[in-house]
Structure 1
Amino acid sequence: MTSTPSTGWRALVLRYPLISFFTLANAISWLAWTPYILSLDGLGILAFRYPDFLITNQLTAILPGAYLGPLAAAFTVTAVTEGRAGLRRWRRRLFQVRAGLRWYALALFGIPLAIVAGTFAMDGAEDVVRLPSMTALALYLPMLLLQFFTTGLAEEPGWRDFALTRLQQRHHPLVATTILGVLWTIWHLPLFLTPWGGPDAGPEAILRFFVLTMAISYVITLVFNRAHQSVPLIMLLHSNINNFMSVMWPDVFPGEHPEWLWGPTLGFCTLALVVIASTRGRLGLPRTPVEVAA
């Protein structure tokens, strides 16, 4: 009997769940971001701008595509491949907060320390560094919560909870993380055509982002593997990176010095090398990986 289109599509997802996830995540997000890229904020082809909310328009222009990408793709592929039982397991992992205090300490304090230490290595940064202002300190926690429920929630249930667990079942954790880091970078690439990419959104900025994303990926994998695969903790870690870079970093290191942007990258690369060397490339994954369905 000839299969119906829906059956054929389902069979394809069942056979290639990871490829299906990455394809859906990119296609959905890129499609949702296309009006923003074509607007006056991007290439200027469409004569409109997205409304600002909390200083910039990133929440109105970028967040819908971020939510509709990895999060929706993870939900869809899980529903097709594992059904309602799989969705219940996926949902339970979203509330797994038991992880150990040292990993929360790393997410909250170790990550900013790596960023600051890397920036200190930049020429001239030590001459202008200052204590954070009261404004930055007052904004930090509210903005962290906002990042947690926007960037963190939109991305990590897909990239780490869905994709990383499955990649590590098929590949060595170092290889799995490298694959995910490359694909994570590719997902962001269209945004370099918008103000999200910053004023220097050229080849150097893309290269710097790629190196930074790869380094962050190795650190996140270690925490994910060693902290009972806690998705909320990974969301917090990811959110704190974004939050520190947007709220605290420019306040602590004032001035327009493009070369200093390599500082956080240097800090994370150093941390990633320590993580890889200390775990002998296992990135905290036990010799017998935890099954996704467990």
Structure 2
Amino acid sequence: MASCKIWLLLPGRSIFPLFCIRHSTCFSMGFPLHAPTPLDLESQNCVLPKEADVQSQTLIVPFKRREIVIFTALAYAFSWAWWGALIFSGTQTFSNLSQMSANEAQSAQMMIAIGDFGPLLAALIMRLFVSREGLRGSMGWKRPFKWYLASFLTPILFFVILAVFNHLTGLGRFAWTRTDMPFGAYLGIELLIGAIIISIFIIGEEYGWRGYLLPRALALGEIKGTILVGVIWAFWHLPLLLIGLNYPGQSPLITIPLFTLVVIALSFPFTWFYKATAGSIALASLFHGFINSYGDGLTAPEVVPTGNSLVTGSAGVVMLAFLLILIFLVYRVFKRATI
């Protein structure tokens, strides 16, 4: 049987091999060769790469409003109940982290991060008792090594470019203010370790958002489905936004709309990466962890002491502008299919 390995063509050069995936066309870094059409793996002589354990994981499943509503309600209920308990105890806010010792701040953040597992619990309940597709193959660990490299190199490169732009334009001048370690150690050790730790907790989010919700939303088409996931994902953060997530000291009347737009825009690279990796939740979690660690780390006050979180922060206006430009290029210049 012949393999249908194809090469993605961008102007003048071949980039990556593509995989034939059930209910999808072939993808690499999320850029399809042509508009998706359902493929029969046997009749088209398509074989999946041996590294991909996707026998139980399909990229698109039928849209069922009931499943999406129940999953969303459960994810919100689990996470909001935990965060609500912390908030009403009067001890957990993002605005006062800078006033804590390093150990106290880490402890506070770990307590808040437990709420990240709400979407995972919701997805487990749905998989086992409602939609009943089970858990087999749902993490997607076995993928080509290049995707593991892409999961952390891409966010690092993106936020380094963002930081350089902020510095050169004067929006957020770089100035290393810590004396306990050189900036290189901070960039290559502290943020790297932080990204790995964050990725473990982020599985709690990604198992729900990309692992359960996105395949159902994609039945609406890539753009509509991604926007739906982005809206649900953004408003799930509402209790944290009210206590200063990403924008300490700023008015929620400004931060909630801005954060919502950023998360919707950020959902598009997640969708592309999800498709490119044949629906790997493990890789989506690494991708998310490195975005959080290096995004926050390269826009933190100790790195950009004069920056405004609404403008140069990891969920600020500059970040939103970069993402919108990226989305425009992908769909308008590279002509990515939207269905």
Question: Structure 1: which 5+ runs fail to align?
Answer: 1-13, 44-48, 288-294
Q: What runs of 5+ residues in structure 2 fail to find an aligned partner? A: 1-63, 94-99, 177-181
| Deviates most, 171-180 or 29-38 | 29-38
**Counterpart in 2 of 1:188?**
237
Larger helix percent = 1
Would you say the 8 A contact 2:198–2:293 is kept in 1? yes
Aligned to 2:143, the other structure's residue is in SS state: coil
Residues 39/275 of structure 1: CA separation in 2 closer, same or farther (3 Å cut): farther
Structure 1 partner of 2:153: 109
Question: How big is each residue's C-alpha offset from its partner over 1:78-128, in whole Å with a ceiling of 9 and x where there is no partner?
Answer: 112344xx2233xx2214331561x44443222232223334444315753
Distance 1:267 1:94, change over 3 A: same
Counterparts of 1:201-216 in structure 2, within 5 Å, are: 201-202=250-251, 203-216=253-266
Query: Equivalent residue for 2:48?
Result: none
Structure 1 pair 236/278, CA: closer, same or farther in 2 (3 Å)?
A: farther
Q: 1:168 to 1:137 in 2, by over 3 A?
A: same
State how far apart, in whole Å, the 2-side matches of 1:270 and 1:118 are.
13
CA 1:20 to 1:279, structure 2 compared with 1: closer, same or farther past 3 Å?
A: farther
Give the match for residue 290 of structure 1: none
The letter for the 2-side match of 1:272 is I
Q: Paired residue for 2:142? A: 97
- Specify which of 121, 124, 127 is matched with residue 78 of structure 1: 127
Structure 1 residues 129 and 281, CA gap change in structure 2 (3 angstroms): farther
Counterpart code for 1:124: G
Match of 2:329 in 1: 274
TM-score, structure 2 length as denominator? Answer: 0.67
Structure 2 counterpart SS, 1:167: helix
Deviation at 1:52, TM superposition (A): 5.9
Kindly provide the amino acid, as one letter, of the partner of residue 158 in structure 2.
Answer: A
Q: Is the 8 A contact 1:28 1:65 kept in 2?
A: yes
**Shift of the alpha carbon at 1:168?**
1.1
* Residue number in structure 2 paired with 1:128: 174
State the shift of 1:251 in Å: 7.5
Deviation for aligned residue 1:146: 0.5
Q: Say whether the 8 Å CA contact 1:95–1:231 is kept in structure 2.
A: yes
Give the structure 2 partner of residue 7 of structure 1. Answer: none
Cα RMSD, aligned residues only: 2.9
Which of 177, 185, 190 lines up with 1:139 in the alignment?
190
Which residues in structure 2 correspond to 1:31-46 (within 5 Å)?
31-41=81-91
Secondary structure (helix, strand or coil) at the match of 2:142 reads: coil
Shift of 1:280: 3.9
Q: Secondary structure at the match of 1:40?
A: coil
Q: Matches of 1:127 and 1:42 in 2, distance apart? A: 30
User: 1:222-241 counterparts in 2 under 5 A?
Assistant: 222-241=272-291
Say if 1:21 and 1:77, in contact at 8 Å, map to a contact too.
yes
Q: What residue identity is the alignment partner of 1:260?
A: T
C-alpha spacing 1:270/1:117, structure 2 compared with 1 (3 Å): farther
Matches of 1:100 and 1:88, distance apart in 2: 23
Identity, in percent, stands at 22
Instruction: Give the whole-Å Cα distance in 1 for the aligned partners of 2:152 and 2:65.
Output: 39
Distance 1:121 1:17, change over 3 A: same
Q: CA deviation at 1:35?
A: 1.5
Give per-residue Cα distances to partners, 1:146-184, cap 9 Å, x unaligned. 01101x211001001100001112x01110000110111
Q: Distance in 2 between matches of 1:274 and 1:192?
A: 30
> Relative to structure 1, is the Cα distance of residues 281 and 190 closer, same or farther in structure 2, using a 3 angstrom cutoff?
farther
Q: Distance in 1 between matches of 2:158 and 2:332?
A: 17
Paired position in structure 1 for 2:58: none
